[in-house]
Amino acid sequence: MTCGQNQLEYVILNQNHYEALLRTLLLNKTYRVEVYCSPNNSSNNWTIEYKASPGNLYQFEDLLFNTKSELQSGIAAIKISGDGKSKIVGVGFVESSNSKMRVAQFPDLDNLSNMECVIQQLAPRELLVSSGMDDKDISAIKQFAEHCGMLVTTRPKNTFKSDDAFVQDMGRLLRLKPGQSDNVAALPEMKLTTATQALSACINFLELVSDNGNFKQFEISEYSSELFVRIDVQTVRAINLKPGVGTSGLGKPHESIVGLLGQAVCTPHGQRLLLKWLQQPLRNIAPLQERLDCVEALNSDLAAMDSLSKDYLKGIPDLQYLARKIHRKKANLQDLYRIYQGVRRLSGVVSLLEGLSNSEKVLSSVKALLLEPLKEKNADMANYVEMVEQTLDIDLASQGEFLIRQEFDDNLKEIQSRRSELKEEMESALFSASRELDLEANKSMKLEYTAQHGFFYRITLKDEKILRGNKKFTIIDTNKAGIRFTNQKLRGLNENYQEASDEYQKTQQEIVQGVVDVAATYSDTINALGDVLATIDVLNSFAVAASSSSEPYCRPLLHPPGSGVLKFKQLRHPCLERQNGVDYVANDAVFDQEKERLVILTGPNMGGKSTYIRSVAAAVVMAQLGAFVPAAEAALSLVDSVLVRIGAGDSMALGVSTFMAEMLETSTILKAATNRSLVVIDELGRGTSTYDGFGLAWAISENIAKDVGCFCLFATHFHELTALAHQVPGVVNRHVVAKTSEGVLTLMYRIKDGPCDQSFGLHVAQMTEFPEQVLQRAAEKQKQLELLHKWVPSEFLTQEDEDKKKGEEMVEEFLENVKALDLDDPEVLCRKLEELQQKISSSDNDFLKTLVDSFVPMQSS
């Protein structure tokens, strides 16, 4: 370990720091941790005692999650098979926290975009790859994983195999569902060879078979990404779906959509479920309507919404973590008591949900999704509650001591009476000590207890001088709450009390074991209860998000996929509108798949283009999560993918030129998008020369409008792109409005029909307080250039300027001609195009040639 220039030989950590360090290393930094121990502290005999990595926290689970729950868990392995041309990807996924195994197998493109999508949806903490994998694939996976905050671990090639030993292991681990074949090898999931090879690597890495607590625990199912909206890493980042890598918890409402929708989530299972939903927006109407009904019902009763989180859900512990602990027989009485306390709150939740009033249809969803499952689990836990009340001393437990009731055993009774006597003696010791110090017992001087110190006295800081120089009393510590101290008498009594307590613990151990064994039979119910509460928690938080912004959200009207509806009235960006100091200007985003499916958005820098197009993508994702959206009115046909691309400069693919990165990322969009997708492109073509960039932007938008046919929002600085609206049906221009008055630019953030008719670059620079002389110089140059284009005779222009000027004139002339033509007659258009092509070939004009070269190959493809 190094600290500046110096090497540290060692660092001493207390327990709290050790736990915090482990949490930071494993959960925030995604590092691997190995703990070495040496018997007898001999310096050369260190061996690994514990190890963990972000996807395998098993050995540190109790330490890490006793007070704080994990948000994401799970590990995935990737296996790639097939020949050089067509790749088959197999993914194995294990989530120990809920004993689930998943397998997915699918063909993929060379850039592994389908794999990215599946991993993005599963969101493991760690990815395993085989040492035998192609270097190019490994580096692509590593790059992707880095952007998602996942650790990549290379495992030996021979751990990726689905041989007889693997089938045997699966036979031990799987708990077969009713109707599933006893013969594990015959399960349909086991036939996905590439995927099961990946799964075997996970099982090997997690050493699942070495703990028989895992036997007959796991469920296996095939994972189908087709059920969920395709959202890739760039989209997640572009619409701020999740907080940045390393953020602890869900983050703040103005930072990301998860921070916004999860603002009132109180339970750890709720947090986990929200993250899962976020990775997997739905494509089916029915389950979304059910979620929306619940949000509507909660949203119409503010008091119920508030009480649900503050009075009930807040105090519920991580039931799924506790269920796992009970199942592994590692639970103690405190764990059983925490579950008991959680279950005691359920009847309050039931009454709140039963008290909601709304239409019959809405309430029937509340019943089916929340109320009935909750009531059922509550009834299943009735015997558990009774058992805890009969065995555990509930009064003591509420004070932080966890003991079996003394009535259970004569020995316990005897020890307990000794403890009571000692307690009484300590109370009378308090009176003598307070008399000695001239303080009032139980008022200015108190007898208190903590697990760490046992019993002690406490006075407030203002009485501190009373103890100064008094040798009969020993100060334990001083903090804001006061001074904790003891004396010989109390110390002796406390020691006897601790001894009696230890004896009580020992005597009750056998009974505790019996109680934990019985409790273990409830682990499935407790786990399922965690699921129901998580759903209630998340939907309640959706309702809170919908009512907590300055303007309320609305319930989106959902239409079947492919029905061509995308309509938001007075739409806002959900996170930006919550930022301090932002007075958000809402805009309509109404499209028609026939006439207005591709919108080219132009306008000044900082004018609100990105915000507008991203607000549409964010609203579509929110609606397909089952949340209300930040608009006055919303209707949409469910989409199969939301694909957002932000131009160069913000590229993921480091190491390649920005232009290449744009090309790669955008070509993935063209391959992945269908006519049911939503595509959002911001500033494409920035990473290259103007001509190339324009050509690329033109060809891509044309391809999306003509061939893909999906809804697309395209924000651009290429003014020339607005001409596409004259040529391709379904393409329209819109612009962000800005006004200049006496040289001062005012950004209105309003969206209007038509292209932007002015360039405001210098005005924007002015707003950002650019140095005055630079601005003046830029203005001069801009004028010169304008003059150059309009008035300067050709012989004074450089070749490039001249080419551009002529080229622009030629395109303008062509467009004017085209406008007058009958566009429905393809022959006429083709003739005109041929004429233009001939003109270009004979003109020897580089500007035009680059332009044509950029989009002709795309057209032909």
Distance in angstroms (rounded) separating the CA atoms of residues 850 and 836? 14
Backbone angles phi, psi at 656, to 5 degrees: -100, 160
How far is it, in rounded angstroms, from Cα 699 to Cα 706? 10
Least Cβ distance, residue 780 to ligand ATP (angstroms):
23
CB of 336 to ligand ATP, least distance (A): 51
Task: For residue 567, give the 3-state DSSP assignment.
Answer: strand
121 vs 602 by CB, closer to ligand ATP: 602
**Residue 282 DSSP SS3:** strand
Nearer to ligand ATP, 265 or 738 (CB): 738
To ligand ATP, the closest distance from the beta carbon of 254 in angstroms equals 12
Residues 6+ apart with CB under 8 A from 65: 318, 321
Q: Judged by CB under 6 A, does residue 607 bind ligand ATP?
A: yes
Nearer to ligand ATP, 338 or 572 (CB): 572
Q: Which of 608, 695, 730, 807 binds ligand ATP (CB under 6 A)?
A: 608
Name which of residues 704 to 733 contact ligand ATP (CB under 6 A).
none
> To the nearest whole angstrom, how small is the minimum distance from the Cβ of residue 582 to ligand ATP?
6
The one-character DSSP state at 769 is T
> Which C-beta is closer to ligand ATP: that of 630 or that of 807?
630
Counting residues that bind ligand ATP (by CB under 6 A) gives: 13
Tell me which residues in 427-456 interact with ligand ATP (CB under 6 A): none
Identify the residue among 60, 711, 749, 847 touching ligand ATP (CB under 6 A).
Answer: 749
C-beta of residue 655 within 8 angstroms of C-beta of residue 694: no
Q: How far is the CB of 61 from ligand ATP (least distance, A)?
A: 42
Give the nearest distance from C-beta 153 to ligand ATP in angstroms.
Answer: 38
C-alpha–C-alpha distance, residues 249 and 243, integer Å: 9
d(CA 525, CA 320) in angstroms, rounded, equals 10
Q: Which is nearer to ligand ATP, 497 or 584 (CB)?
A: 584
Judged by DSSP in three states, 646 sits in strand
Dist CA 416 CA 287 (whole Å):
55
Which lies closer to ligand ATP via its Cβ, residue 589 or residue 732? 589
DSSP state at residue 246: T
What helix, strand, coil percent values describe the chain, rounded to 5?
55, 20, 30
Looking at residue 174, the DSSP 8-state letter turns out to be B
Residue 582 or 590: the one with the smaller Cβ distance to ligand ATP is 582
Q: Give the single-character DSSP code of 41.
A: G
**CB of 528 or CB of 582, closer to ligand ATP:** 582
589: which strand partners?
A: 568
CA distance 754 to 578: 30
CB closer to ligand ATP out of 317 and 607: 607
Chain position whose Cβ is nearest to ligand ATP: 608
Between 182 and 769, name the residue whose CB sits nearer to ligand ATP: 769
Using CB under 6 A, which of the segments 270-278, 370-378, 603-611, 738-746 binds ligand ATP?
Answer: 603-611
Closer of 218 and 749 to ligand ATP (Cβ): 749
DSSP state of 710: -
Q: Are the beta carbons of 625 and 277 closer than 8 angstroms?
A: yes
Residue whose CB is less far from ligand ATP, 574 or 607: 607
Least distance in angstroms from the C-beta of 820 to ligand ATP? 33
Within a 13 Å sphere around the CA of 528, how many CA atoms are in the beta-carbon half?
Answer: 15
Name the one range near ligand ATP by CB under 6 A: 70-78, 349-357, 604-612, 844-852: 604-612
CB 672, min distance to ligand ATP, A = 24
Nearest approach, Cβ of residue 603 and ligand ATP (Å): 6
Q: What is the number of alpha carbons within 13 Å of residue 850 lying toward its C-beta?
A: 16
* Residues 713 and 599: beta-carbon distance below 8 Å: yes
Q: Are 715 and 682 in contact (CB under 8 A)?
A: yes
Residue 363 CB, nearest approach to ligand ATP (Å): 37
C-alpha dihedral (712, 713, 716, 722), degrees to nearest 10: 70
377 lines the binding site for ligand ATP (CB under 6 A): no
Report in angstroms how near the CB of residue 259 gets to ligand ATP at its nearest: 17
Residue (of 613, 542, 519, 521) closest to 573 by Cα position: 613
Distance in Å, CB of 765 to ligand ATP, minimum: 11
- CB closer to ligand ATP out of 261 and 585: 585
**What is the contact mask toward ligand ATP in residues 522 to 561, using x (rule: CB under 6 A)?**
----------------------------------------
Nearest approach in angstroms of CB 847 to ligand ATP is 24
Rank residues 229 and 617 by Cβ distance to ligand ATP and give the closer one.
617
Nearest to 391 by CA among 343, 337, 355: 337
CB of 5 to ligand ATP, least distance (A): 42
- The minimum distance between CB 81 and ligand ATP, in angstroms, equals 43
DSSP alpha helix (H) spans, 367-467 = 372-380, 382-391, 394-398, 410-437
Work out the burial of residue 793: count CB atoms within 10 Å of its CB; fewer than 13 is exposed, 13-18 middle, 19 or more buried: exposed
Q: Residues 212-251: x/- map of binding to ligand ATP (CB under 6 A)? A: ----------------------------------------
Residue selected from 26, 606, 618, 679 as contacting ligand ATP according to rule CB under 6 A: 606
Q: How far is CA 206 from the centre of its chain?
A: 24
Query: How many DSSP H helices and E strands does the chain contain?
Result: 30, 25
Per DSSP, helices labelled H in 558-602 are: none
Nearest distance, CB of residue 610 and ligand ATP, angstroms: 3
d(CA 252, CA 250): 7
> Interaction with ligand ATP in 609-648: which residues (CB under 6 A)?
609-611
Does the protein bind ligand ATP through residue 605 (CB under 6 A)?
yes
Q: Which is nearer to ligand ATP, 613 or 643 (CB)?
A: 613
Alpha-carbon distance of 576 to 587, in angstroms, equals: 14
Report the candidate in 599, 579, 602 with the shortest Cα–Cα distance to residue 588: 599
Packing angle of the helix pair 346-354, 333-344 (nearest 10 deg): 20
Q: b/e per residue, 42-73, with b = 16+ CB within 10 A?
A: eeeeeeeeeebbbbbbbebbebbbeeebbbbb
Residue 74 or 607: the one with the smaller Cβ distance to ligand ATP is 607
In the complex with ligand ATP, which residue's Cβ is closer, 198 or 697? Answer: 697
Segment interacting with ligand ATP (CB under 6 A) among 127-135, 353-361, 606-614, 660-668: 606-614
Q: Which one, 285 or 576, has the nearer CB to ligand ATP? A: 576
Site for ligand ATP in 573-602 (CB under 6 A): 576, 582, 584-585
570: left (phi over 0), alpha (psi -120 to 50) or beta: left
Q: How far is the CB of 606 from ligand ATP (least distance, A)?
A: 4
Residue 743 Cβ vs ligand ATP, minimum distance, rounded to whole Å: 20
What is the C-alpha separation between 637 and 168, in angstroms, rounded? 47
Torsions phi, psi for 798 (to 5 deg): -75, 165
Q: Interface with ligand ATP by CB under 6 A: which residues?
A: 576, 582, 584-585, 603, 605-611, 749
